[in-house]
Amino acid sequence: MKTKIQACIVDDEQDGRDYIALLLKNEFPEIQISFQASGVEEAYIYLTKNIPDILFLDVQLKDGTAFDLLSKFREIDSRIIFITAFENFAIQAIKNGAADYLLKPIRKIDFVMAVNKVLEMIKKSKNSPAIYSSENKISLPTLQGFKLTNISDIIRCEADSSYTTFYLTDKTRIIVSKTLHDFEEHLTKYNFFRIHHKHLINLFHLKEYIKGKGGQVVMADHSVLDVSVRKKNDFLSKIENLE
C-alpha cells in the first residue's frame, strides 16, 4: 500500500533537479521522489507505466519541451507544477492543466506555497472521489449533490480531461468532476479494468474482443473501445482468470 506522496522531477539541469529534491527533503518529508528525468523521451517511458502524485515539470527539456511530453498523453492524472525561467509560458502552462507555476530561480517560499496547494488538492481528491454506502454501491458526486449507483450497473467509465463520464445499463450517463484515476483503484476490485488511458470497463459487461495490435472491445452498450498495446497482455490475462 502506498503511504507516501510520490513525486517525479523532470528538469534538463542536474542542479535544478537537485535543488527541488533538497527542498522536498527539508520541507516535505512525506513526499518521496520516485523518479527523475532530464528529457521528454525518458520521462515519457516512465509516465506510461507510473502515475506520480506530483509532477515537477520544467518547460525547456534537453530533447523538447514539457508541452511535447504532455502532447503524448490525452490526460495526465498527476498534479503538475511547471517550472521555467520564461514567464511567457504561463498561459500555455495553465492551458495544459498546471496546478501551479514557478519561475526560476525558484524562491523557497513560492515552492512551499505551490506544494502545499497541490497537497491540499490531492487530499480533497482522495477524500471525496467516491463514498461507498455498502459493498456494491458507489456514491457519485454531481453538481446537484450525489447519485447512489449500483456498481454492477456501471458498464464503463470514460476520461475527459479532469472529468469522468459513467455509462450505466439504463442508458443514463453521469458526469463527475474527478479524474478517471480517482476511481480506478476503488473499482478494480469489482472486476473493472483500465484498458486504455481513457477507458475503465466493467468486465462483466464485456461482450466481445476483436483482435488487433492492441485490439478492441465491444461493450454491452454497443460501444467499441480501443485496448492500448501496453495493456493488451494484462487485459487478456485478466479475462482468462475472470471470476
pTM of the model: 0.57
What pLDDT score does 146 carry?
Answer: 80
Domain residue limits, the chain: 5-127, 131-240
Tell how strand 64-65 and strand 79-84 pair up: unpaired
d(CA 198, CA 226): 9
What pLDDT score does 1 carry?
Answer: 39
**Domain 5-127: homologous superfamily in CATH:** Response regulator (3.40.50.2300)
131-240: CATH topology is OB fold (Dihydrolipoamide Acetyltransferase, E2P) (2.40.50)
What pLDDT score does 133 carry?
Answer: 42
d(CA 152, CA 210): 24
pLDDT digits (tens, 9 = 90+) for 174-205: 988 888 888 888 898 889 999 998 999 999 99
What pLDDT score does 93 carry?
Answer: 62
Backbone dihedral angles phi then psi of residue 85, each to the nearest 5 degrees: -90, 0
d(CA 127, CA 51): 18
Averaged over successive runs of 10 residues, the pLDDT of the chain (243 residues) comes to 80 95 95 96 92 92 91 81 78 67 92 92 63 67 79 93 88 88 86 93 95 93 94 90 71
Question: Can you tell me which residue has the cell 453538481?
Answer: 143
